[in-house]
Every structure is written in structure tokens, then in C-alpha cells.
A and B are shown apart, each in its own frame.
Chain A
Amino acid sequence: MLKLKFHFFVFGTFFMLSIFSGCMPSHGAGKPTVTVWHWMTDRDPALKELAKRYEAKTGIKINFELYAPSDAYSQKVRAAAQGASLPDIFGILGEKRDFASFIKAGFVLELTGYMGENSGEWENVFFSKALAVNGFNDGNTYGVKPGIYGVPIDIMTIQMLYNKSLFKKLGLNPDKPPKDFTEFLGMAKKIKAAGLQGLVSGWGEIWMIDCLAGNYAFNIMGPDKVIATIKGEVPYTDPDWIKVLSLFKDMQESGLLVSGIVTMVNKTAEQIFANEKAVFAFNGSWCVNVYKGMNPELKYAVFLPPKASDNYPMVIRGGAGSSFMVNARSSKKEEAVKFLRWLTDDDQQAYLAEATNNLPANKNSISRVPEILASFAKSMDCATHPNIWGVRESAPVIEVFGKGIQSIIIGKKSPEQVAAETQRMKERELARKRK
């Protein structure tokens, strides 16, 4: 009797399971469908709307599948690559090195041909910096055949922001953000006296610190020396690098940095700036959407990081925000390319920009975006991105460098110590690569 119950359980479960697995909606065999995997939760509704429009226009169904958060998305894409079941269109998050590996493994379709058609009709639609991130140059160190492999659908820049209302409150001119570093530090006292916080940013995330440090590195010693350091020709103990590191020490000592800045994730930093508790923020153009959601009344503007040196121009991190790649092994790659082309056309880019407050990759659509967003795009000329330098610092070195800056900020290490540590790690990495 009891054995029967036991068997019932087992069979019952398997029965339910088979029913369940049978009830899968099969993809329509008639209409071709292009499947896109993406991670952008905020843009999912807008993308699905565009998919509908495309289907109405061409009869081809575009299936946007959302897998979030981005860490989990990366895992999924990698696993799918290993199992040879990537969708028609997908994105590769992470560094250029991973992008290169995907290309070399044959997962990404080369788009140079399509881009170059009609004397570069498609290619010219984009900001050059956005496309550069998706392409590989002649003689690149990744061993990838030169060409364009991805389609940017938006761009982003990371800059300094300041709160105009708080500026007025402090008696500062709301149209004149600090131009140089000394002026920047000088404001700290006034800010503290008013009971406010100075600069907030998500420096619990190493890449954010790396970003600002990189900007100042370019400003103090110029792009060539920075690249030379990555190549191993210049040590990190060089006085210019110590100058870069000392900037963070100066910021901390002047009281300019928000307390607890090195444990913050960017989301928290955004909250603080939106709540008008901090006067300055260092954040990317995606923040426009965020701040709008947190505090629609916020009055703020962007400015370049105040220069610490007159030797070289200041740069900002900028380039493609999100990009899509086409699966080279997909049976629908032609359709996929056609869709991406349509997606990056003026009208669709303008729609995306309005709906999601992101900067379009199509430079012709810039005139149709809201003012604050456009101001982010104005400095695209000063933008640079590690993915276009042709070389990439190895991850352990970046980690030691970034963590070192965190330690400087919390007062545990000196700039010289961090420089020495970074150099040691660099030498270890160089030795490892030589083997």
C-alpha cells in the first residue's frame, strides 16, 4: 500500500514534468525570428516597442530576451558560447580581451564590409569614438584581424557633475564650475562649513577609480607616456604617477571626498547626489535617467575634471555604451545585420534617447535629445577609452593600483607605497607574460 504511494509520487512528478516540458510555446515555423539577448532592464520596454515597429514594417519578428543583472548575463553568454547555443544577436560585456577571444573563437561576425557599403554610409552615422571601441586596428596586440565587429547603440561619457542650486547656496557662481585642481580643493572648506559633502562617486568599484586616475594620468603626463607604462617601458614609480596618486591624497586631506566613498557602489553615490547631500559627483551619462527618477527637480550640469596640469589636455572616459554583436554562426545573420542597421538609424536612435535618456550612438540624433544629456555629448572630442589604446593593463595591476588608491583615501598607505606595490605587481605580470 505504501509502496504504491511511493510509486505514485515518483510517477506523478515525472508526469507533471513531462507535461510541463511539453507545454513549451514553439517558435512560429513560418516567420523568421531574430533572437536578441540583452541585459538592459531599463531599456527593455523601449526595445520591445521598437521590435514591434520593425515587425510591422518588415514582417520579421525580433525577440528581445532580458537576462539581468549584467554579471549573470555575462555568465549566460559564456556558457552559451561553450555550448554553441548563442542567439542571433548578443552583447559582450567586459574587456576588449574577452571581445577578442570571442572573435578569435569564431562567434562574432565581422561587420567591416557592411559598414563600408556605399562609401561608408552606415559607418559615418556613428561617433568615431563609439565605433572605435567596437573595432580593432592594424597591428593590434590582441591578434585579431583588423575590422569592425560590433554595433554601438548608445554612447556614454563619464564626467564631473555639480549641483547648481548648492553652488548658489554656497555663494558660488552656478555657471562657473572649478577650472583647475587647486580651485577644486579650495571649495572644500566652504562645503564643509555649510554642512554638505563634496565629491561623491562609486569608488567601491575599482573601475570607477581607475577611470578618474586615468583621466588625470593623461592630463599630467600625456597619452604616450601612459601607454608606454602599460607596455612596461616606464615604471609606475615614476614621479608623474606619484603625482597622480597624490591627487587622491590631496582630495581626501582637503575634506573634499564624501566619507565612506571607498565602500560605495555607484548606485549609492547616485542616491546621495540626487538627495542634494553632495555638491559634486563623478558619474556617467546614464545618470541622467537615474537622477530623473530619484529627483526630477535636481538642477545640475557637467564639467570636465578640473585639470591638475597644463601640460596636456584633460580627457574623459567615453565611447560606446552598449553594443550588439552578431553571431557568426547564426543562420539569420543577414536579417540580424539589417535589423541592427535599422536600430541605429536616426529615428530609432532618437526614440531610444528620449525614452531611456541615454546618449545615442548616431551623431545625427544628438539634436533631438534633452539639453542635459546633450551636454554630456559635447565633450566627446576629449573622450578616450582603454579599448582604443591598443594595449590593456593586466587586471592584477589595475586591481593593485585601484585598491592602492582606496588605501590612500582611507589613509592606510602613501602614494609612494602604492606606486611601489603597483610596480612590483607589474613586473610580476611582465615576467609571467614573457614565459
Chain B
Amino acid sequence: MRIKSSLENYILVLPALLIFSVFYIIPFIWVFQLSLFDWDGILPVKTFVALANFKEILFQDSSWWQAMRNAGYITLVALTFQNALAFLLALACDRQIRMKNFYRVVFFIPPILSEIVVGMVWRFIINDVDGANIINRFFYGIGMPQLAHNWLTDPDIALTTVAIVHSWKGFGWGFLIFLAGLQTIPRELYEAARVDGANAWGCFKKITFPSMVPVIVLVAILTILGTMQAFALILGLVGGEFAGHTSVPVLRILSVMRDSSRFGYACAQGLSFGVILVVISFIQYRLSKRYRQR
């Protein structure tokens, strides 16, 4: 009986483990090995350079760190703007019983659309050169020309534009999860609070927010992981790295692989990126645990 029980444990995990070890671990080991070499991806000859690649990334590759900073910026915008928007929309939808289903479907359309479409359409809407630039025309129309900018071609604001479009595409997920979380809060709590004389803000502070903390943490982790790895949207919007101003880590890795044939170096970049993400998630996890224990 005991043996059968332990066996069952392993049977449950086995398929996942098998597939994972074959299709992830093995390529991972291969990439890890490669990051220690200088290889062009074609020749059967590789030169062992040990940690030289990593050293170069850490201390000499300024374009890599610019890409990381950019990704960090986009992620910050996502964590604040995108998730705040998602949260507010979820709150609003939670109250409104009418049309709730309509909004639930509509808000999830951006994540569904392929990144090509999103890039193309937004480029069309906000680009002054090859698009209709509907936004700027709108500003001119309502008599506020100073608000019109070159959203995608001005190097100072291009990254922010990308971040906003990215948030537009991403808030649907957060909205869904927040809404789900909000709906699990029992209505009786609110009624009881109202009987006790609490107003809307008090309800929010004492009931809504504390219950939502684990959800917020979950969404935050997922947002960071997802946004840091974003790249396809940027390709569609700006066409590339825009002299580094809209460069992000994954784009950097891809362009290194393609333009300089330094496969080993690209692998090292990928690994460093992964390590940074793991560290960030770990810190977040620890912080959230401490907050919950309070």
C-alpha cells in the first residue's frame, strides 16, 4: 500500500518531468555550455573562453545595459499604469452589473490580437510619417496643438509610447485576474461594513485592498516576467532598436545572434538575463511573504 502510494506520487509528476527534462533541461545545458565558448554557430570549431563572455556583458557591453534599462522602464510603466488601469477597470466592472459581460470580452481583445496587427495599427494611428496620425489630428482639432508630438520618431518619447502601447495590449490579463479576485470577496463583508457606517473609501481600505493583496502580488510577478521579455511589439511599432532608444534585452540577443554570429555570447546574454529575472522574482516573493506575515 505504501509503495503504491509513493508510486502514485511519482506517476503524477512523471509526464511533466519527462517532457521538461528532455525539452528544456537538455537545451539549457547546451546553451549553458555554449555561453562559455566563442562560437559562430556554424563551424564545428569552438574556442573555450570560460567566463570572458559574462565579464564582457557585465563590464563592457553598454548597449546591453541600455536595453535592460529600457526593459525596466517599460516594466515600471506596466506595473504602475497598466496594472492600475486594470485594477480600476476591474473595480468599475465589479459595480456595474449591466454590460459587464460585454466589457469582459472587449477588454480581452488586445491580448488576443497578434503582435503584428497591434504594431501595424498603432503605428498607423500615431505615426506622422506613414500613418494617418489620427491622434495629432485630434489634438489640432480640439485646439491644443502643443499636445501633438512625434510619438514614434522622437527619441525622447519613443520608449514611453512603446510602453503605453504595450500596456494597452497587456492590461486585459490583469483585468481578468483582478476581476476574478474582486468577485471572491463575499458581499456580506461589505454589507456589514456599511451597517457599521463605513463609506466607500473605508470599505476599500479595510476590505477590498487587503483581500486583493495576494492577487496584486501574483499579477505583479507575472507582469514583470512578461514585460521584461517583450520584443515583438517593438518590432512592429518602431521597426527595431531605434539607435538603442527602444532596445530591449531579447531584441539585443537576437541582433547579436544575427549580425555578429557570436552565438556563444548571445547564449551568455540569455543566461544573464534569466538570472536577473530569477533574482527579481525571488526578491519579490520574499517581500510579499514578509508583508503577508505582518
Instruction: Tell me whether chain B's interface is mostly helix, strand or loop, or mixed.
Output: loop
Q: Which residue of A lies closest to B257 (CB)?
A: A75
Contact of B243 among A98, A398, A403 (CB under 8 A): A403
Interface residues in A88-107 (C-beta closer than 8 Å to B):
94-95, 97-98, 101-102, 104-105, 107
Asked whether A260 and B240 contact (CB < 8 A) given A71-B258, A395-B260, the answer is no
Contact with A along B128-159 (1 / 0, CB 8 A): 11100000000000000000001011010010
Asked if A264 and B261 make an inter-chain contact with CB atoms under 8 angstroms apart, the answer reads no
Least distance between B118 CB and chain A CB atoms (Å): 16
Whether A160 is near chain B, meaning CB under 8 Å from some CB there, is no
Q: Which residue of B lies closest to A102 (CB)?
A: B42
Interface residues in A217-260 (C-beta closer than 8 Å to B):
258-260
Contact of A94 among B128, B152, B258 (CB under 8 A): B258
Whether B239 is near chain A, meaning CB under 8 Å from some CB there, is yes
Total interface residues in chain A, CB < 8 Å: 36
Contact of B150 among A78, A104, A259, A407 (CB under 8 A): A259
Contact of B153 among A98, A259, A394, A403 (CB under 8 A): A259
Instruction: Tell me whether chain A's interface is mostly helix, strand or loop, or mixed.
Output: helix
A residues in contact with B240, CB < 8 Å: 204-205, 263, 265
Whether A364 is near chain B, meaning CB under 8 Å from some CB there, is no
Least distance between B261 CB and chain A CB atoms (Å): 6
Contact of B261 among A97, A104, A398, A410 (CB under 8 A): A97
Asked if A407 and B243 make an inter-chain contact with CB atoms under 8 angstroms apart, the answer reads yes
B residues in contact with A396, CB < 8 Å: 260
Whether B223 is near chain A, meaning CB under 8 Å from some CB there, is no
Asked if B40 and A406 make an inter-chain contact with CB atoms under 8 angstroms apart, the answer reads no
Least distance between A413 CB and chain B CB atoms (Å): 9
B residues in contact with A272, CB < 8 Å: 129-130
Asked if B129 and A105 make an inter-chain contact with CB atoms under 8 angstroms apart, the answer reads no
Asked whether A412 and B155 contact (CB < 8 A) given A264-B130, A394-B260, the answer is yes
Asked whether A268 and B129 contact (CB < 8 A) given A74-B258, A259-B153, the answer is yes
The answer for the CA separation of A428 and B56 in the assembled complex, in Å, is 11
B residues in contact with A265, CB < 8 Å: 239-240
B residues in contact with A104, CB < 8 Å: 43
Whether A262 is near chain B, meaning CB under 8 Å from some CB there, is yes
B residues in contact with A395, CB < 8 Å: 259-261
Q: Which residue of B lies closest to A92 (CB)?
A: B42
Q: Which residue of B lies closest to A200 (CB)?
A: B129
Whether A335 is near chain B, meaning CB under 8 Å from some CB there, is no
Work out how many contacts link A and B, with CB atoms closer than 8 A: 81
The answer for the CA separation of A243 and B239 in the assembled complex, in Å, is 29
Whether B202 is near chain A, meaning CB under 8 Å from some CB there, is no
Asked if B260 and A78 make an inter-chain contact with CB atoms under 8 angstroms apart, the answer reads no
Least distance between B45 CB and chain A CB atoms (Å): 8
Contact of B238 among A102, A263, A398 (CB under 8 A): A263
The answer for the CA separation of A270 and B111 in the assembled complex, in Å, is 31
Asked if A410 and B155 make an inter-chain contact with CB atoms under 8 angstroms apart, the answer reads yes
Contact of B42 among A71, A105, A268 (CB under 8 A): A105
Contact with A along B233-259 (1 / 0, CB 8 A): 000001111111000000000000011
A residues in contact with B150, CB < 8 Å: 259-260
The answer for the CA separation of A395 and B158 in the assembled complex, in Å, is 25
Asked whether A258 and B129 contact (CB < 8 A) given A101-B261, A265-B239, A395-B260, the answer is yes
Asked if B41 and A78 make an inter-chain contact with CB atoms under 8 angstroms apart, the answer reads yes
A residues in contact with B155, CB < 8 Å: 410, 412
Q: Which residue of A lies closest to B255 (CB)?
A: A399
Interface residues in A70-120 (C-beta closer than 8 Å to B):
71, 74, 78, 81, 94-95, 97-98, 101-102, 104-105, 107
The answer for the CA separation of A74 and B261 in the assembled complex, in Å, is 12
The answer for the CA separation of A78 and B259 in the assembled complex, in Å, is 14
A residues in contact with B63, CB < 8 Å: 399
Asked whether A406 and B243 contact (CB < 8 A) given A101-B261, A399-B259, the answer is yes
Interface residues in A395-425 (C-beta closer than 8 Å to B):
395-396, 398-399, 403, 406-407, 410, 412
Whether B75 is near chain A, meaning CB under 8 Å from some CB there, is no
Asked whether A105 and B43 contact (CB < 8 A) given A260-B150, A272-B129, the answer is yes
B residues in contact with A105, CB < 8 Å: 42-44
Asked if B44 and A98 make an inter-chain contact with CB atoms under 8 angstroms apart, the answer reads no
A-B contact pairs, 10 of them (CB 8 A): A101-B41, A105-B42, A105-B43, A107-B42, A258-B129, A260-B128, A263-B153, A264-B130, A272-B130, A396-B260
* Interface residues in chain B, defined as those with a beta carbon under 8 Å from any beta carbon in chain A: 40-44, 60, 63, 127-130, 150, 152-153, 155, 158, 238-244, 258-261
The 5 A-B residue pairs with the shortest CB-CB distance in the complex, in nearest-first order? A260-B153, A395-B260, A406-B243, A101-B42, A260-B129
5 further A-B contacts with Cβ under 8 Å, apart from A78-B41, A94-B258, A263-B238, are A98-B40, A105-B42, A205-B240, A260-B129, A263-B153
